[in-house]
Amino acid sequence: MNTRKPADLAALLQPDHRLLGIDPGEKSLGLALSDGSRTIATPLRVLPRTTFAAVAAELAALARAENLGGIVVGLPLNMDGSAGPSAQSARALAANLERELGLPTLLWDERLSTAAVTRTLLDANASRKRRAGAVDKLAAAYILQGLLDRLRAEA
């Protein structure tokens, strides 16, 4: 199990390293990137969840292209804090990505991230089709921004 804390991740990063946020779903992974100063999280795209080898290859190419220094994987805990099958899957994804890509990986509580993003899109009168295409990557940005805010508060 990944027990890395935000400060542990921050200590491993070079000044210009970016972070990748991942919102893990059953069928896809929402992706978001931080800027080089690790202040702002920006939604990137949705990556179909096919084989792990294909996902890892895609993320390795992204890591090289974007100067990634670490990964933040959303941990979908139940509202009472317990871990169900989705949380176990996220933990396995984080461990496998850390091993395969050689980047430090942190699990970040993502409770209510999808609900918050969906509510924001509804408030903006986004169509159902637009919401479906945007929720995963926006949830990834929401997760990543939570960590970035925490890192800034701890600095």
Residue 66 domain flag: yes
Q: What is the mean pLDDT of residues 134-141?
A: 86
Separation between Cα atoms, residue 41 and residue 30, nearest integer Å: 13
DSSP element (H, E) containing 18? strand 18-24
136 or 45: which leads in pLDDT: 45
Residue 70 domain flag: yes
Residue 88 domain flag: yes
Token pair for 32: 């978001």
Q: In the chain, what is the straight-line distance between the N-terminal and C-terminal CA atoms, in Å?
A: 26
Average pLDDT, the chain: 87
Residue 78 domain flag: yes
Report the pLDDT value the prediction gives residue 1, as an integer from 0 to 100. Answer: 45
3-state SS, residue 37: coil
- Strand partners for 48: 28
Range with the largest mean pLDDT of 13-17, 59-63, 150-154 = 59-63
Handedness of CA 81, 86, 89, 95 (dihedral sign): negative
Q: Which of 109, 80, 82, 81 is nearest to 94 (CA)?
A: 109
- The answer to whether residue 131 scores a pLDDT higher than 90 is no
Q: Which domain holds residue 54?
A: 6-154
The total domain count for the chain is 1
Which residues, including other chains, have CB under 8 Å from residue 98's CB and lie 6 or more apart? 2, 71, 104, 105
Query: The CATH number of the domain where 102 resides is what?
Result: 3.30.420.140
Residue 141 domain flag: yes
3-state SS, residue 4: coil
Residue 29 domain flag: yes
Token pair for 120: 């924001």
Whose tokens are 């999280």? That residue is 41
Residue 1 domain flag: no
Residue 91 domain flag: yes
pTM score: 0.86
Handedness of CA 41, 47, 52, 56 (dihedral sign): negative
